[in-house]
Amino acid sequence: MKALYKPAASPGFELTDRPEPEAGPGEVKIRVLRTGICGTDLHIEAWDDWAAGAIDVPLVPGHEFCGEVVAVGPGVRDVTEGDLVSGEGHVVCGTCRNCRAGRRHLCIRTSSIGVNRDGAFAEYVVLPESNVWVHHTPVDPDLGAIFDPFGNAVHTALSFPLVGEDVLITGAGPIGLMAAQVCRHVGARFVVITDVSPYRLELARSMGVDLALDVSSETVADAQHRLGMVEGFDVALEMSGHPSALPDVIDNLNHGGRIAMLGLPSTPIEIDWARVVTHMITIKGIYGREMYETWYAMSAMLRSGLDISGVITHRFPATEWAEGFATARGGRCGKVVLDWTEVG
C-alpha cells in the first residue's frame, strides 16, 4: 500500500510503498478515505525537539481519519465490513485503575495511533474494535476525518455547564472554532474568541461567534465593555497554549469562573495563584476525548443541527501531501484534509 512514512529521525516524510496491515484477533482493517492534518503531524514532519523526544521511528503517522471497513479479525462483534467509521486515536490498556473504573481517557499506558504505533496516513489502517466509531447515520467523509479534533473541542467545551453563560475562548485554531460552535449550539449567551490571525478571526466571524477579538490591538476587558458585560466571563476555554493567555483569562473571569485548558504551553506560565484562590477559580486540564461519552455527544449534536463543516477550508489529494502540510503550517486555513481515494 501507499503510505506517508518517516523512515528515520530527520525532517520530512516519504510517500512510498509499505506492507499492507492485516486485522488480527479483535481488530478491524479500514480503507482510509480521508485524513486530517493535525499540529502533532506538523511536529513529526518537522522533527522538532518534541518529536525527537516522543516519537520512535520508523513510523506511519496520522491519527485523524475516516474510512470504510474492509475486513474484521476473529472475535470482532459489532463492526462489519462496509461500515463507514472514524477512529479513537488513544489505545488504552484496559487494566489500570482508571480503565477498570471506566475512565479510559485517563489511562496511564495510553498508546497513540500515528505517534506510538503506525497510523492512518496510508491506504489502510488497523485498529482494535474498541477504538472504531461506526457512523450509523450518513456523514461526509471529510467531516468524519476530523472527528478526533472535533472530540477535543467537545470534551473541552462540555467540561462545564454552558446554558446562559458567557464564554471566552483563547485561540481560533480549528479546535477553538469548533468549540465556539458547540458553545453556541448548547446555549451559551455570549461566545467570544481571541487570536492574532486576521484570517482565523474572520473565519470565526463567519462561523457565528459574538465577537472575534484581535488581542494584538484590543484587550479582553475591551470585549466585556463592548458586549455590556459587568461581572466577567463564566467559562473560559484555553486553546492556544500561549503563555500570556491563561493569566489574561484569569484576570477576566467572574468569581467562581471555570477554565478548561486544552492548549499545551511551550514555556512555563506565571499565575496569580492568590487570585485563583480568592476568586475560587477552577482550572481543569483536558486531553483527548472521554471514551466514549464525547463521541456520543458529537454524533448527537451533528444530528440535532450542529454544522462544523465551515472549519474545513482546504482539501488536497494525498499525493499533494507536502502542499497540504505547508498550508496547515502557514496558518491561513482552518482544517486541512487529505483525500486517499486515488493515491495508488
Better-predicted residue by pLDDT, 266 or 62: 62
CB-CB contact of 259 with 246 (8 Å) = yes
> If pLDDT is split at 50, 70 and 90, which confidence band does 216 have?
very high
Of all residues in the chain, the percent with pLDDT exceeding 90 is 96
- In tens, the pLDDT along 104-142 reads 999 999 999 999 999 999 999 999 999 999 999 999 999
> If pLDDT is split at 50, 70 and 90, which confidence band does 266 have?
confident
Residue 187 falls in which region: left (phi positive, over 0), alpha (psi -120 to 50) or beta: left
How far is Cα 110 from Cα 90, in angstroms, rounded to an integer?
A: 6
Known active-site residue 40: yes
Residue from 179, 251, 245 nearest 209 by CA = 179
- In tens, the pLDDT along 8-40 reads 999 999 999 999 999 999 999 999 999 999 999
> If pLDDT is split at 50, 70 and 90, which confidence band does 193 have?
very high
Give the three cell numbers for residue 280: 475560587
- Reduced to 3 states (helix: H, G, I; strand: E, B; else coil), residue 257 is strand
Pairing of strands 253-261, 282-285: parallel
- In tens, the pLDDT along 243-257 reads 999 999 999 999 999
How far is Cα 193 from Cα 211, in angstroms, rounded to an integer?
A: 6
How far is Cα 127 from Cα 91, in angstroms, rounded to an integer?
A: 9
Q: DSSP states of 222-236 as a string?
A: HHHHHHT-SS-EEEE
- Superfamily of chain region 154-285: NAD(P)-binding Rossmann-like Domain (3.40.50.720)
Predicted model pTM: 0.95
Q: Environment class of residue 97 by beta-carbon count within 10 Å: exposed (0-12), middle (13-18) or buried (19+)?
A: exposed
The count of other CB atoms within 10 Å of the CB of residue 39 is 15
In order of 76, 86, 146, the CA distances from 150 in angstroms are 26, 12, 6
Mean pLDDT estimate for the chain: 96
Residue from 78, 80, 71, 85 nearest 33 by CA = 85
Domain residue spans of the chain: 2-146+308-339, 154-285
- Model confidence at 344: pLDDT above 90: no
CB-CB contact of 175 with 151 (8 Å) = no
Of all residues in the chain, the percent with pLDDT exceeding 70 is 100
Give the three cell numbers for residue 198: 486576521
For the chain, what's the residue count?
A: 344
- In tens, the pLDDT along 147-172 reads 999 999 999 999 999 999 999 999 99
**What is the CATH architecture of 2-146+308-339?**
Alpha-Beta Complex (3.90)
Known active-site residue 278: no
Active-site residue, from 35, 43, 155, 185: 43
- In tens, the pLDDT along 34-65 reads 999 999 999 999 999 989 999 999 999 999 99
Active-site residue, from 35, 40, 170, 194: 40
CB-CB contact of 179 with 169 (8 Å) = yes
Burial state string for 223-247 with b = 16 or more CB within 10 A and e = fewer than 16: bbeeeebeebbbbbbbbbbbeebbe
Q: Return the pLDDT at 16.
A: 97
Kindly calculate the radius of gyration of the chain based on its CA atoms and give it in whole angstroms: 20
